[in-house]
Amino acid sequence: MTDDLTSTLSRELAEQAHAMDGSTLHLTDIKGRARSIRRRRTATAVAGAAAALALITPIAVIADHTGGSRNNPMPPATQDVSPSPTPPAGHQPAPGALDVSDLPTGDAPRVEYLSDGNVLRHTDGSMVSVDTTFPISSFAVLADGTHLWVTAHNGTPYVEVQDPQGHLHDPMPSGWAVSVNKSHTVGAWVRPDGQVMTWNAGATEPVAYRDPVPASDDLRIGPVLGDGCGPRQSCEVHVNVSERRTGAWQPWLVDVNGTQPLLDGGYRFLADSSESGLSIGQTEITDSGSCSTLLGGGEFQGFQTCQHTLESFSPDGNLILGTPAYQDGVGNGEIAMYNLRGTMLFNRHSTAKTQAHYPRAEWEDGTHVLAPVFQDGQWSIVRIASDGSMEYAVPPVPGQDVEAPFILPTN
């Protein structure tokens, strides 16, 4: 992230000097179907996974180890640590400003989330304590209620899988993130040795999927396509690999055809892909910024922007989340949305006065994202619509700027 204290004033002046399209390229009308940058799947591959958020079955968690799992469910947390209710009064900030100091209060998040480190809050308002071996840094939820918890101990990340009955498996080596397909039927992570690991909904153990990607000091799991991964199921898992000698990034594709560099599209870092064949990622990365590109096929021309990082597709694939082109510092101070023609729908950025920032935003549905935002010594979960309007999904609570009390699921 560009340092808010040193660059915000100049960015505010520049913001007034360009139209909402910024540096994006205009498109002709979208015609024809998109070209997949991916290699052809075998006849067994299943395409077109439904883009929908999973309904999560409330679970209890467990405390004692028995072999590779913990089998005694722990009673739900009974202490209500919900933030104090905030009156519905509030107002929208100035156009273009990321200012969450006095927003109206809307509905609670329509996805489950973590608060206070290990309290899982369900969409029905219930909550349970999560008893992972190590502290949780991120998580994803599968369609059957399986939770993939990314945890860490002494700077080393792990994945701890919790099945729908609440039983936790022992920590497994991983990178710092997990990825799920759009229908949440399979999750994936990559081990430090480059081996891609997958977990299918309904499974009882992970699958080591195909051959490893090259081992590196920095491996980052990318998009997952297909309904399942395994000996009788074909999927596509992408991994962004940082070359040890030069530090240059290269995406790799792991699928039924093997493990190989992904060269189509000229991506340096692949951010997201859709089942319809669209992809977004960074095509240029420098010490001061980056340029991101949307690619498709046929008469669909895509677009490029160097104003934002194109981060992820909405669940229905019609919108794209934009974050800062240069991400550094304590968090992100800018957020935007684009449509598939490259039109910027809104752009909000922190100011020298607000100094608001968020660690990561996640899609809640086809037109809204949720983001834990810090401002004025408080954290809140803010819902941001495709028209740029904002509201509290979780009202502000006191906190430290580098320790968000809320964790949203990877969607």
For 326-364, the pLDDT digits (tens) are: 987 789 999 999 999 999 999 999 999 999 999 999 999
CA 95 to chain centre: 26
Closest of 35, 21, 22, 15 to residue 277, by C-alpha? 35
SS3 346: strand
252's tokens: 């790799």
Look at 19 and 131; give whichever has higher pLDDT.
131
Q: What pLDDT sits at residue 22?
A: 38
133's tokens: 């071996």
Check which CATH number belongs to the domain holding 297 and give it: 2.130.10
Question: Can you tell me the mean pLDDT for 369-380?
Answer: 98
- Give the tens place of pLDDT for each residue, 116-136: 999 999 999 999 999 999 999
Cα(374)–Cα(361) distance, rounded to whole angstroms? Answer: 13
- Give the tens place of pLDDT for each residue, 80-97: 445 555 455 789 999 999
Closest of 233, 277, 235 to residue 255, by C-alpha? 235
Cβ–Cβ under 8 Å, residues 340 and 320? yes
CA pseudo-torsion sign 386, 391, 395, 397: positive
- Give the tens place of pLDDT for each residue, 143-188: 999 999 999 999 999 999 999 999 999 999 999 999 999 999 999 9
Closest of 108, 82, 89, 79 to residue 397, by C-alpha? 82
Nearest 5°: CA angle at 221, between 329 and 42? 155
Q: What is the DSSP letter of 41?
A: P
Residue 299 in this model has a pLDDT that exceeds 90: no
89's tokens: 């009064």
- Count Cα neighbours of 29 within 13 Å in the Cβ-side half-sphere: 2
384's tokens: 């941001």
DSSP per residue, 103-136: PPB-PPPSS-EEETTTEEE-TTS-EEE---SS-E
Q: What are phi and psi of 121, to 5 degrees?
A: -105, 120
Cα(284)–Cα(346) distance, rounded to whole angstroms? Answer: 23
Q: What pLDDT sits at residue 85?
A: 54
CB-based burial label for 400 (10 Å; 0-12, 13-18, 19+): exposed
Q: How many domains does the chain have?
A: 1
Cβ–Cβ under 8 Å, residues 239 and 251? yes
Which residue range(s) make up the domain with 254? 4-80+88-407
Q: The pTM is what?
A: 0.79
